[in-house]
Amino acid sequence: MNQNNAIFPIRHISELTGVLTVTLRAWERRFGLLKPARTAKGHRLYSEADITRVKEILNLLNQGMAISQVRQVLDQKNNAKHPSVAADSIEDLQRQLLQTVMGLDVLAASQFIYDTGKNYPIAMVVERLVRPLKHRLSQTSGAIHQAAASSLVLAMQMFMARRLSHTHTKTESGKILFVGMQGEDLCLSYDLAWVMAAEAGIAVSALGYQLPLAALEELAASQQSKLIAIWADAEPHLGWENKLRDLTTKTTSKIYMGGELASRHQSFLASIAVNVLPLNMELTIKTLKDL
C-alpha cells in the first residue's frame, strides 16, 4: 500500500465504522485482516481502501461468518466461488454460551462474552448472540433454565461493567439521561446503548432500571440535560403510557425512546411527541451523536 494514501488514524476508522480500536487491532494481529501503514513513531494509519475492507468484514460477519474465515473469503473475492462455511459462527457461539450458562458459571459466561466482544462488534454480540439466547431460555420451563437465564443476566451485567471500565466517560453537564423502564431485570437495549454511547464519546448519565419516570423532570433540570432517552424491550407495568405522557407535559427536555417497546408503539409515541430511536444500534448512536 502506498504510504501517502494512508492518512487516517485508528480512532477515525473506529468512529467511522463503529468498530472498536481494540477490535481493529485484533483483526490485524490475530487474523491478518488489516495491514495499516505506520508513522515514524509506530502509530497506525489507514487508507480509504482499509475503510472499505472494514465494511466488507462487517458485512461478512453480519451474514454469520466466523471471523477466522473472513480473510480467506476476502482474499478470494474475485473468484466465482467462495469457500463454503462449515457452520454458522453465531450459532456455534450460542451453543458454547448456552453450555456455559447451563452450568451456572457466571464468571466463565461473562469472560466468554467479553472475549467474543474483542473479535466482533458489541452490537452483533448482543443482538445475535445474547438476545436470542436470553429469549430461548425465558421461553423454556424448568428450574435449571430459569437459573441459566439468571446466570446470563449476571454475566451480561459483568460484561457491560467491564467494557465501561475501559471507557473514559465525559463528566460535563448537559449529559443525555439514559433510563431503563421499570420492571425489567435486564434491558439489553439500554445496556448496549449505554456502553456504545460511552465508547463513542457521547456524554451519558446512566440511571439504571428502577427510576420512576416522574423523577426525570427534576433530574433533567438539575443536570441541565436537554435530552432524555428511555429504553424498554418488554412490556412495562400497566399505566406507563400515562406516566410518559405526563412527563412530556412537564419537562422541557426532548424525549426519545429506544428498544423493542418503542418499535411496537410508534404511533402512540408520535402522538405524544416522543421520538423513536432506530432498533439498529449503530444508527441509534449516530442519531444521538448528531443531536
Domains of the chain: 3-75 (1.10.1660.10), 89-165 (1.10.1240), 176-290 (3.40.50.280)
DSSP-derived pairing of the beta strands 176-180 and 204-206: parallel
- Which residues on adjacent β-strands are paired with residue 257? 230, 276
Predicted TM-score (pTM) of this structure: 0.72
Alpha carbon distance 265, 276 (integer Å): 9
Return the pLDDT at 169.
59
The position carrying cell 453465531 is 90
Considering only CA atoms, give the Rg of the chain. 21
Alpha carbon distance 275, 263 (integer Å): 11
| Mean of the per-residue pLDDT values of the chain | 85
- pLDDT of 71-122, one tens digit each? 888 887 644 444 443 344 777 888 899 999 999 999 999 999 999 988 888 8
Alpha carbon distance 281, 258 (integer Å): 9
Alpha carbon distance 47, 56 (integer Å): 14
Q: Do 277 and 178 meet the contact criterion of CB atoms below 8 Å apart?
A: no
Return the pLDDT at 272.
95
Concatenated DSSP letters of 164-206: HHTS-----SSPEEEEEPTT-S--HHHHHHHHHHHHTT--EEE
Closest to 197 in 3D by CA, of 229, 224, 221: 229
pLDDT along the chain (291 residues), means of 10: 65 83 91 88 86 90 86 70 47 89 94 91 87 84 89 92 77 76 79 88 85 88 90 86 93 92 92 92 87 81
Concatenated DSSP letters of 81-122: SPPPPSS-HHHHHHHHHHHHHHTT-HHHHHHHHHHHHHHS-H
Return the pLDDT at 174.
63
Return the pLDDT at 5.
67
